[in-house]
Chain A
């Protein structure tokens, strides 16, 4: 079973995504802020991380850098509602290295197909 780590400060969002991925048969872990996300990441290993950017305590960009420094080959998809257009990710030197970017509200099927491609 493949493990996913979902990081988002929106609890409802996390719940819905957990529901989506469990139905798909993934092992789902989650965190509500950047700091706890890094704790979860230390406890376990994950095939993919779904990362929100704008978060309290520690924001997505810092989390992204921390994970990549630990494990440069870790697959990460950015799922965010607060960074404007998708193009912006390309201009961001950190987030540019992400394996995918989805702007909320996204089409769930597209996200799932992207994950299948990656793991």
Chain B
């Protein structure tokens, strides 16, 4: 409409100029006026659709300013043959175009009003201005007002509703005026018959015109209003929609100058963003223009580009842009519409996320524990770390994508199922000791910990495996050692038990010894009485037959006393009284006594001395005599019945530095059973004696720090060997 009106104005002006040249009589308006209007309309068109980049807007302003200047000159000097009122209107119009905002609207409205007034006055016959300029002014003002969005005129138009009372009245009212004016005119002229006053005729016609004008205006208004409403609604919706979008929405023209922004866009770039080139906000040099070039070359695709841009507060922010070309109704590219989102934080988070993921991956890989991530149920291997690779012998590439059942690393897969069930049910980690298998087939004991992890939709399982074969081995060793230790302890305990037994025995023996000592002492008193009494009888007796009997009593009394002495000697070991003796001589002297005594019984004593002459040892002489007497006496008892032989040997073991004394007989000997008990006190195979002989011998030898050995064979004889330390300086 705007274009139509203005183009019509220019056309009309040109026709006017042409006519004024061809036929001055037909001139409709002054040529200068026509030039002004042509210039004016051209300026408006240029302003509206001209390219900002090429300074069209500036050109438009120059043109309209020229109109203004000429009109002002005319008002003051009347030089250009423009009527005063006309010039005033042109001034107001020009100002309204230049000012554009509220004052512009007021001016435009005033122009419209006065134009209408001119028109009416012309029809009415009071034509102080030409008809055509009035029409032009009307057209132009309307065009301007319509173009201005939310102008007073528009608001005024919008206040009408097709159903409002006022609007309802307008059409019948205007039609009624036309009808009434024409009707009165016709009636009036008809009744006067052609002699009517032409002024009255003109009045009625004018009224009719006014009604027609009203009617036309209203019709035009309705057609406008509908389109406008629709447009307004669409635009309103669209703009509120775009405003409501939290993302930035920007429109650029072909030359990438911002021509429109939504609220978010203004908030980001600032209120003054319109008219600025996009690159004005770029931070650092960037290739964003290259990337979006396809949009401006007619590409249909939405182009995505990320770009660092300066926000209104001066901070640099990263914007993600989606750009799409914008075409006019003819399909020509008129620019681009872009939405943008501030992704600075998001990017930062992504970066951090990536970093933490990388960290996790590193931890995962560097962990000395074997970690695998599998699906819970099927056991699909998603990931495995290096430790797991090493433990199971599969590379990650080999394993990932296969199931762990396929890999056959569980010796008993049912154990896994059991653990998974427990872990999933409790949502905590579950640990258990199981058998696992390597790629080589080698099974090993492992400690497995499982924890379910839910990654988006997938139900995964984190499994940590620890090879505990070493611990197991250690445990086995420990157990074995334990066993060994136990056995050792048992053995020791047995030993202790044996010792306890021996101790108990010796205690018993000691008690027995104490008892025996007491008894022995008590026995000596009656023995003393018996022997003394026997003496008295012997002295007083004159019967020689009794002498033999009395001698027997005396003999047996002293034999009894010897037994008592032995018993006392064993039971109460004496302190040693060591003296240095020539062992060979001492032995020989003693054996000589026994040799004589035993000769009567036909027992021979041989003495074999292998010692160097004058070999000395330290012994308790009394005890040594007792020892030898006992040994020889035992041998004698063993072999006397068969006229036996006793061999006493003296030798030295130089290596051990020991004196070796052995007493050997060819008597009845002992069997193994007796041999074991031979040293026990009160054990005897003899008919007489207390069985203390060998015990006393060993006690004496032990006290001297020596050793006693017994060899015997039933029927062949017995050898007792005694070893003393030979060291001459030795003091025990």
Cβ–Cβ < 8 Å partners of B524 in chain A: 81-82, 103-105
Instruction: Tell me if B535 and A20 are in contact (CB < 8 A).
Output: yes
Judge if A85 is at the interface, Cβ distance under 8 Å: yes
A80-110 Cβ-contact flags toward B at 8 Å (1 or 0): 0111110000000000000000011111110
Cβ–Cβ < 8 Å partners of B525 in chain A: 10, 13, 81-82, 104
Cβ–Cβ < 8 Å partners of A54 in chain B: 521
23 sampled A-B residue pairs with Cβ under 8 A: A12-B533, A13-B529, A13-B532, A20-B532, A23-B539, A54-B521, A81-B521, A81-B524, A81-B525, A82-B522, A82-B524, A84-B521, A84-B572, A85-B565, A85-B574, A104-B528, A104-B531, A105-B527, A105-B528, A105-B558, A106-B528, A107-B531, A109-B535
Judge if B536 is at the interface, Cβ distance under 8 Å: yes
Cβ–Cβ < 8 Å partners of A106 in chain B: 528, 531
Which 6 pairs from chain A and chain B are nearest by CB? A104-B528, A81-B524, A105-B531, A108-B535, A81-B525, A105-B527
Residues 4-21 of A contacting B (Cβ, < 8 Å):
10, 12-13, 16-17, 19-20
Residue of A nearest to B518 (CB): A82
* Given known contacts A105-B558, A108-B532, A81 and B568 CB-to-CB distance under 8 angstroms: no
Complexed CA–CA distance, A104 and B564 (Å): 11
Judge if B557 is at the interface, Cβ distance under 8 Å: yes
Cβ–Cβ < 8 Å partners of A23 in chain B: 536, 539-540
Most B CB within 10 A of own CB, among A12, A81, A82, A105: A105
Minimum C-beta distance from A108 to chain B (A): 4
Complexed CA–CA distance, A109 and B536 (Å): 11
Instruction: Tell me if A16 and B568 are in contact (CB < 8 A).
Output: no
Judge if B561 is at the interface, Cβ distance under 8 Å: yes
Minimum C-beta distance from B448 to chain A (A): 81
Residue of B nearest to A91 (CB): B575
Residues 574-603 of B contacting A (Cβ, < 8 Å):
574
Instruction: Tell me if A10 and B522 are in contact (CB < 8 A).
Output: no
Residue of B nearest to A103 (CB): B524
Chain B binding surface SS class: helix
Instruction: Tell me if A105 and B557 are in contact (CB < 8 A).
Output: yes
* Given known contacts A10-B529, A12-B529, A13-B529, A105 and B522 CB-to-CB distance under 8 angstroms: no
Cβ–Cβ < 8 Å partners of B568 in chain A: 84-85
Minimum C-beta distance from B575 to chain A (A): 10
Q: How large is the interface on B (under 10, 10 to 19, 20 to 34, 35 or more residues)?
A: 20 to 34
Judge if B546 is at the interface, Cβ distance under 8 Å: no
Instruction: Tell me if B572 and A17 are in contact (CB < 8 A).
Output: no
Residue among A16, A81, A84, A108 making CB contact with B527, cutoff 8 Å:
A81
Cβ–Cβ < 8 Å partners of B574 in chain A: 85
Residue of A nearest to B565 (CB): A85
Residues 505-529 of B contacting A (Cβ, < 8 Å):
517, 521-525, 527-529
Complexed CA–CA distance, A103 and B517 (Å): 15
Complexed CA–CA distance, A105 and B561 (Å): 7
Judge if B530 is at the interface, Cβ distance under 8 Å: yes
Knowing that A17-B532, A23-B540, A54-B521 are A-B contacts, what are 12 other residue pairs whose CB atoms are under 8 Å apart, sorted by A's residue number? A16-B532, A20-B532, A81-B521, A81-B525, A81-B527, A81-B528, A82-B522, A83-B521, A104-B531, A105-B531, A106-B528, A106-B531
Cβ–Cβ < 8 Å partners of A13 in chain B: 525, 528-529, 532
Complexed CA–CA distance, A12 and B527 (Å): 11
Instruction: Tell me if B539 and A16 are in contact (CB < 8 A).
Output: no
Complexed CA–CA distance, A84 and B569 (Å): 9
Minimum C-beta distance from A117 to chain B (A): 19
Minimum C-beta distance from A56 to chain B (A): 13
Instruction: Tell me if A82 and B561 are in contact (CB < 8 A).
Output: no
Minimum C-beta distance from A53 to chain B (A): 11
Minimum C-beta distance from A103 to chain B (A): 7
Cβ–Cβ < 8 Å partners of A108 in chain B: 531-532, 535
Minimum C-beta distance from A13 to chain B (A): 5
Cβ–Cβ < 8 Å partners of A105 in chain B: 524, 527-528, 530-532, 557-558, 561
Minimum C-beta distance from A112 to chain B (A): 9
Most A CB within 10 A of own CB, among B517, B521, B558, B572: B521
Minimum C-beta distance from B610 to chain A (A): 34
Residue of B nearest to A9 (CB): B525
Complexed CA–CA distance, A12 and B526 (Å): 9
Minimum C-beta distance from B192 to chain A (A): 198
Most A CB within 10 A of own CB, among B517, B525, B530: B525
Minimum C-beta distance from A51 to chain B (A): 14
A17-41 Cβ-contact flags toward B at 8 Å (1 or 0): 1011001000000000000000000
Residue of B nearest to A84 (CB): B568
Minimum C-beta distance from A30 to chain B (A): 14
Minimum C-beta distance from A87 to chain B (A): 8
Cβ–Cβ < 8 Å partners of A103 in chain B: 524
Instruction: Tell me if A104 and B535 are in contact (CB < 8 A).
Output: no
Cβ–Cβ < 8 Å partners of A85 in chain B: 565, 568, 574
A33-77 Cβ-contact flags toward B at 8 Å (1 or 0): 000000000000000000000100000000000000000000000
B523-555 Cβ-contact flags toward A at 8 Å (1 or 0): 111011111110110011000000000000000
Complexed CA–CA distance, A93 and B227 (Å): 156
Minimum C-beta distance from B576 to chain A (A): 13
Complexed CA–CA distance, A111 and B530 (Å): 15
Minimum C-beta distance from B304 to chain A (A): 123
Cβ–Cβ < 8 Å partners of A84 in chain B: 517, 521, 568, 572
Residue among B527, B533, B565, B572 making CB contact with A104, cutoff 8 Å:
B527
Complexed CA–CA distance, A54 and B521 (Å): 10
Complexed CA–CA distance, A73 and B535 (Å): 30
Minimum C-beta distance from A100 to chain B (A): 15
Cβ–Cβ < 8 Å partners of A20 in chain B: 532, 535-536, 539
Minimum C-beta distance from B84 to chain A (A): 175
Instruction: Tell me if A16 and B522 are in contact (CB < 8 A).
Output: no
Cβ–Cβ < 8 Å partners of B527 in chain A: 81, 104-105
Cβ–Cβ < 8 Å partners of B535 in chain A: 16, 20, 108-109
Residues 79-115 of B contacting A (Cβ, < 8 Å):
none
Cβ–Cβ < 8 Å partners of B572 in chain A: 84
Minimum C-beta distance from B391 to chain A (A): 84
Residue among A16, A83, A107, A109 making CB contact with B529, cutoff 8 Å:
A16
Complexed CA–CA distance, A10 and B521 (Å): 13
Complexed CA–CA distance, A19 and B534 (Å): 12
Residue of B nearest to A88 (CB): B574
Cβ–Cβ < 8 Å partners of A81 in chain B: 521-525, 527-528
Minimum C-beta distance from A83 to chain B (A): 8
Complexed CA–CA distance, A91 and B566 (Å): 21
Cβ–Cβ < 8 Å partners of B521 in chain A: 54, 81-84
Complexed CA–CA distance, A10 and B525 (Å): 8
Complexed CA–CA distance, A85 and B561 (Å): 11
Residue of A nearest to B558 (CB): A105
Complexed CA–CA distance, A107 and B517 (Å): 22
Minimum C-beta distance from B434 to chain A (A): 79
Residue of B nearest to A13 (CB): B529
Minimum C-beta distance from B518 to chain A (A): 9
